[in-house]
Amino acid sequence: MERQIQEVYTLSKFKEFHVDLTGKIYCEIVDYREIAGVCEYSIRESFWLEDGRMIPKFFKVFFHADNCEAQCTYQLFEFKGILCKHTLTIFIRHEIGLLSEKYILRRWRKDVRRAHSKMKVKFNS
């Protein structure tokens, strides 16, 4: 998954993705239940304060196994267009090695031709 994203994303977006991928070590699945083909996971993420105390925050991830889609209550994908560490935790749990094209937005791809990159510039001396 990391190699796939590295190959298609711009460098700055890959770095953001990598932060979430490595940040998943602070995420733990604490509860699971399945209702009508939808798996609902409770994820506890540990946040460390400057004084050394740890505060847990809880997020829910809903995973549809039939089409490998996930939604997280954190909503990073909906807000910024990259997957959050909670969703990545569930994808790894379900042994999903490659992300669906749905999760690789065109605007972050490095192989996209952008109109502003074809502008002609004329310098007068």
Residue with tokens 């847990």: 56
Spell out the SS3 assignment of 90-120: HHHHCCCCCCCHHHCCHHHECCCCCHHHHCC
Confidence (pLDDT) at 110: 86
- Report domain extents, the chain: 2-118
pTM of the shown model: 0.83
* Run of H or E including 55: strand 54-64
- Split the chain (125 residues) into runs of 10 and give each run's mean pLDDT: 92 93 95 94 94 94 94 95 95 94 90 61 61
N-term to C-term CA, the chain: 49
Confidence (pLDDT) at 124: 65
Give me the amino acid identity at 16: E
- Tell me the backbone φ, ψ of residue 10, rounded to 5 degrees: -65, 160
